[in-house]
Structure 1
Amino acid sequence: MPDQNNNNEFEEQKEEVEKVETSGVESTKEDSDDDYEKICFICRRPESVAGKMIELPNHICVCNDCMQKSFDAMNSGQIDYSQLMNMPGVQVMNMADLENMIPKQQKVKKKKEGEERTPLVDINNLPAPHKIKAKLDEYVVGQEYAKKAMSVAVYNHYKRVATDTMDDIEIEKSNMLMIGPTGSGKTYLVKTLARILDVPLAITDATSLTEAGYIGDDIESVVSKLLAAADNDVEKAEQGIIFIDEIDKIAKKKNSSQRDVSGESVQQGMLKLLEGSDVEVPVGANSKNAMVPLTTINTKNILFICGGAFPDLENIIKERLTKQSSIGFGADLKDRFNGDKDLLSKVTTEDLRSFGMIPEFLGRLPIVFTLKGLDKDMYIKILKEPKNAILKQYQKLLALDEVDLEFDEGALEAIAEKAMKKDTGARALRAIIEEFMLDIMYEIPKDDSIGRVVITKAYIEGNGGPVITLRGQDVPRLS
């Protein structure tokens, strides 16, 4: 009997502990959900739009409008719901299955009542332009003018956001347009800039954007990606950076008989975003539909940076520069600008209009600057100088195997020459090194006696192999 009583007491204590544990899990879940707005399970509108929600079991919420419509449909319908349960083939809906129907990425963070809007970048801690440029110098080789222009534009923009135009003088946005050949570092510059300032960044491609109603991404999806990058926090997203790459692909099509749904019309649709306005954006999706909640974002303080390679723009610049008389002693030779590497830096708004960009769009991108194409010396610097240079990455990988990796100067020059032939910018360097490092990365873990590997010019040119030194020996061994 005493044993039975002890067992009963033990079972009761166990049940109490389980109740406490489950209630703790539920309270933790409720606390985590408190930071996000409730969303109507039927119409998918957030609480800030639809009003107070009616909470059902299993964390399901329904707005007053949808609940009323449901009651009206049940009262006025021809179906006898009391007989529905007894009909053959009818399954009872399990409410627990509906709990996770609305994914977390479609929930918007609440705006806390009574709390003042705080700028994402504090004006007192905002780094000066020379400090921003110094940080960019650690990661990006060359492009001095581009880094200087970006540093000043970003500094002025976040001063504008922080002060929020406290007086009558309203500072306008400093949106940017970057023009440069592929692989010159446009995207990398923007990524580094966002990392320095610690602000949300969304990178999108203009090639996928189309006019509303056509297959492709809506223009508002650009802002939707920024909202996702800001963890669905609207206030944080309203002070972020949006980089739109391949902006030259939405240029006005010339001599096109078809409807231009991904050209001039997209430029027209983007005007309101660049200028600053309230836009309704889908949460956790690229396009608006009935099953996706919408939220409103003001783009007034979002910094837009557009970038593109603008192929054939050099020919337009060359044509403008050689429009002078071609007869007489003061005439310009037709091929005068053929070897000019800095031809892109002479670009004007008229050249961009000739390319196919509409004047209203260019007017909302007041800061235009160009990036230079890479030469041999810049390729070599990119290989070894930046903080996360490609060579440093491989040296770190092999250091984990306790092997030293070195590249001699001849090898670096040979890699740079191969990259120049590919004509794809800095991206070519990674592809070339991956090709030559494949066998080394495969073979070295096999042999624990290897202590040092030197990549030579002969190995890169295919005339020899790397120089391998064994541990504790000074005599190298040719592979």
Structure 2
Amino acid sequence: MSEFLPQTGEIKLGDDELTPRQIVSKLDEHIIGQKNAKKAVAIALRNRTRRRKLDPELREEIYPKNIIMIGPTGVGKTEIARRLSKLCGAPFLKVESTKFTEVGYVGRDVESIIRDLAMVSLNLVKQEFRKEVEAKAKERAEEALLDILLPFPAKTSIADPHPPSIGFSTNEAEEEREKRFSETRETMRKKLKTGKLNEQIIEIDIPQAGPQGLPMLQVFGAGNMEDLDNHIQNVLGDLMPKKQKKRKLPITEALKVLEEAEAEKLLDPDKVQREAQKRVEEMGIVFLDEIDKIASREGRAGADVSREGVQRDLLPIVEGATVNTKIGPIVTDHILFIAAGAFHMSKPSDLIPELQGRFPIRVELEKLSMEDFEKILTAPRSSLVKQYQALLETDGIKIDFAPDGIKEIAKMAYDMNEKHENIGARRLNTIMERLLEDLSFEGPDLPEDQRSLTIDKKAVESKLKGIVEDKDLSRYIL
């Protein structure tokens, strides 16, 4: 929701109120280039916000415009979809289209996509709801831990073998005992808060982890034994009472376990389930990778029959169907599907016409240039250079990358992609690992005066040039 800031006269936009331009700007913080793809997904996300503001009658008639991204591996297809989902807090699931054909003519049931997405949504919503009850769960966990460390004393009975001292009535003795107990408990609480009890080992009861939700009968097709097995376990887990098991843990770990248990008790399962269901239906994003691998070429038989069958199975899910899941029936009408593929051996028109019609937006991602590689190394918020600097700094090693060093790394990555298989930005990972391999291995044992160095063009060339020029060796190392 938007929020007006009187001190500046500006409107602060929440993630659900970002304009397409602002969405692209946020994606630019993590992904270099690919303006067309970013523009397409930004419009798709903004259309969801627009749709929510319409009258219910018209809202139901507007469906998401699914997208096909066309481009080689390593250019940012998956990352764009993943970052988009994080931007709006949407449930996100990446699936390989080929997993539905890996057993020949009988692959996994395509409805498992929606069931998996539902569980992603449930976990996402649980995390959010847990933050709301975090403080209360911590208090209750602390009290539960104190109860284990210092149980409440039983009240004195008439037949007590240790009656109160002479001069005290039973009530006065009880009050005295309760007072002493309260003082001891507060002393124990202070020790707990200051960490004096952290190393003490205690035994606690932990409920056995079991699936949530109501048992639900589902019909499974042939070859879908994995889902059938999981479902049987889920139903049995719901019908059987949860078992407790005892574990001995240090107090620091026991406190975390008790906090989790208390947070679970504070959550309203029905409310969590309803919100998770709504989140999937209104905001879910499914990334169908390698969609080109299930495209069937005209005039081909054999495996292409299987590919076309998977496309036809995907049709009702993409078009709009109701799928039974552990959080209830999910209507897929408004889930956004983003498909992606390199389309080296096939083209989007090789998909069956019905499926093509469900993906009206097609964007082609560009091959990465040498300048793009330079930006990938330094520009993103968590760039590769920053990652390696932070990793080595934990061992007290300070490395700086000179501009000519960055340029040389980018040049080598670009040349290797041109000469061999083009794996996009992933080539930078292999080069950086090879470049810093010796330093990562020897770094912790280096003397203090050798723990600071600058990586320039000369250092990069001396380490990698021989490998890059040796075509046979570079196939295996880079």
TM tier, shorter chain? 0.5 to 0.7
Change (3 A) 1:235 1:168: closer
Change (3 A) 1:463 1:136: closer
User: Following the alignment from structure 2 to structure 1, what is the Cα–Cα distance between the partners of residues 361 and 28?
Assistant: 21
* Cα deviation, residue 167, structure 1: 3.5
Q: How does 1:38-187 map to 2 (within 5 A)?
A: 125-161=16-52, 163=54, 165-167=56-58, 170-187=61-78
Match of 2:323 among 250, 266, 279: 279
Match of 1:247 among 270, 277, 291: 291
* Cα deviation, residue 369, structure 1: 0.8
SS in 1 for 2:382: coil
Write out per-residue CA displacement over residues 386-415 of structure 1, whole angstroms, 9 at most, x where no aligned residue: 001100001111222333211122322222
Match of 1:199 among 90, 97, 100: 90
SS in 2 for 1:368: strand
* Cα deviation, residue 123, structure 1: 8.9
SS in 1 for 2:17: coil
SS in 2 for 1:372: coil
Amino acid in the other structure paired with 1:440:
L
Give the gaps of 5 or more residues in structure 1: 1-121, 284-293, 314-350, 466-479
SS in 1 for 2:437: helix
Q: What is aligned with 1:387? A: 381
User: Following the alignment from structure 1 to structure 2, what is the Cα–Cα distance between the partners of residues 226 and 400?
Assistant: 37
Q: What is aligned with 1:4? A: none
Change (3 A) 1:223 1:381: same
Work out whether 1:402 is the aligned partner of 2:396. yes
Change (3 A) 1:443 1:384: same
Q: What is aligned with 1:237? A: 280
CA contact 1:210–1:218 (8 Å) conserved in 2: no
CA contact 1:211–1:269 (8 Å) conserved in 2: no
CA contact 1:210–1:219 (8 Å) conserved in 2: no
User: Following the alignment from structure 1 to structure 2, what is the Cα–Cα distance between the partners of residues 139 and 312?
Assistant: 30
* Cα deviation, residue 435, structure 1: 1.1
CA contact 1:253–1:263 (8 Å) conserved in 2: no
* Cα deviation, residue 210, structure 1: 3.6
Amino acid in the other structure paired with 1:309:
A
Change (3 A) 1:189 1:464: closer
Q: What is aligned with 1:352? A: 348
SS in 1 for 2:324: strand
Amino acid in the other structure paired with 1:278:
T
Q: How does 1:222-233 map to 2 (within 5 A)?
A: 222-231=113-122, 233=276
Q: How does 1:27-42 map to 2 (within 5 A)?
A: none
Write out per-residue CA displacement over residues 399-446 of structure 1, whole angstroms, 9 at most, x where no aligned residue: 223332111223222222222213210011011101111111122211
Write out per-residue CA displacement over residues 264-306 of structure 1, whole angstroms, 9 at most, x where no aligned residue: 121111111111121235x5xxxxxxxxxx9521101211111
CA contact 1:211–1:265 (8 Å) conserved in 2: no
CA contact 1:157–1:174 (8 Å) conserved in 2: no
* Cα deviation, residue 384, structure 1: 0.7
User: Following the alignment from structure 2 to structure 1, what is the Cα–Cα distance between the partners of residues 383 and 81?
Assistant: 17
Q: What is aligned with 2:332? A: 299
RMSD of aligned alpha carbons:
2.7
Q: What is aligned with 1:362? A: 356
Q: What is aligned with 2:406? A: 412
Amino acid in the other structure paired with 1:129:
P
User: Following the alignment from structure 2 to structure 1, what is the Cα–Cα distance between the partners of residues 426 and 409?
Assistant: 12
Amino acid in the other structure paired with 2:338:
I
Change (3 A) 1:359 1:212: farther
Change (3 A) 1:279 1:212: farther
Q: What is aligned with 1:456? A: 456
Greater mean alpha carbon deviation, residues 257-266 or residues 407-416: 257-266
Greater mean alpha carbon deviation, residues 228-237 or residues 423-432: 228-237
TM-score for both structures, normalised by structure 2: 0.57
SS in 1 for 2:288: strand
Write out per-residue CA displacement over residues 213-251 of structure 1, whole angstroms, 9 at most, x where no aligned residue: 944321112112211211263333223111010010110
User: Following the alignment from structure 1 to structure 2, what is the Cα–Cα distance between the partners of residues 218 and 146?
Assistant: 30
* Cα deviation, residue 190, structure 1: 0.7
Q: What is aligned with 1:269? A: 313
Q: What is aligned with 1:445? A: 444
SS in 1 for 2:306: coil
* Cα deviation, residue 364, structure 1: 0.8
Amino acid in the other structure paired with 1:461:
E
CA contact 2:15–2:88 (8 Å) conserved in 1: no
Greater mean alpha carbon deviation, residues 208-217 or residues 421-430: 208-217
Greater mean alpha carbon deviation, residues 301-310 or residues 224-233: 224-233
* Cα deviation, residue 451, structure 1: 4.1
Q: What is aligned with 1:17? A: none
CA contact 1:177–1:368 (8 Å) conserved in 2: yes
Give the gaps of 5 or more residues in structure 2: 1-12, 124-275, 466-478
CA contact 1:219–1:269 (8 Å) conserved in 2: yes
CA contact 2:16–2:49 (8 Å) conserved in 1: no
* Cα deviation, residue 256, structure 1: 3.1
Amino acid in the other structure paired with 2:42:
S
CA contact 1:176–1:367 (8 Å) conserved in 2: yes
Q: What is aligned with 1:430? A: 429
Greater mean alpha carbon deviation, residues 134-143 or residues 450-459: 450-459
Change (3 A) 1:259 1:164: farther
CA contact 1:123–1:159 (8 Å) conserved in 2: no
User: Following the alignment from structure 1 to structure 2, what is the Cα–Cα distance between the partners of residues 265 and 211?
Assistant: 13
Change (3 A) 1:428 1:171: same
User: Following the alignment from structure 2 to structure 1, what is the Cα–Cα distance between the partners of residues 387 and 55?
Assistant: 42
Q: What is aligned with 1:334? A: none
- How many residues end up aligned between the 2 structures? 294
Amino acid in the other structure paired with 1:458:
K
Write out per-residue CA displacement over residues 50-92 of structure 1, whole angstroms, 9 at most, x where no aligned residue: xxxxxxxxxxxxxxxxxxxxxxxxxxxxxxxxxxxxxxxxxxx
- The higher relative CO (CA closer than 8 Å, separation ≥ 6) is in 2
Change (3 A) 1:406 1:358: same
User: Following the alignment from structure 2 to structure 1, what is the Cα–Cα distance between the partners of residues 333 and 447?
Assistant: 59
User: Following the alignment from structure 1 to structure 2, what is the Cα–Cα distance between the partners of residues 258 and 443?
Assistant: 54
User: Following the alignment from structure 2 to structure 1, what is the Cα–Cα distance between the partners of residues 55 and 302?
Assistant: 44
Amino acid in the other structure paired with 2:76:
G
Change (3 A) 1:162 1:204: farther
Give aligned-pair identity as a percent: 36
Change (3 A) 1:213 1:251: closer
User: Following the alignment from structure 2 to structure 1, what is the Cα–Cα distance between the partners of residues 59 and 116?
Assistant: 33
User: Following the alignment from structure 2 to structure 1, what is the Cα–Cα distance between the partners of residues 393 and 100?
Assistant: 44
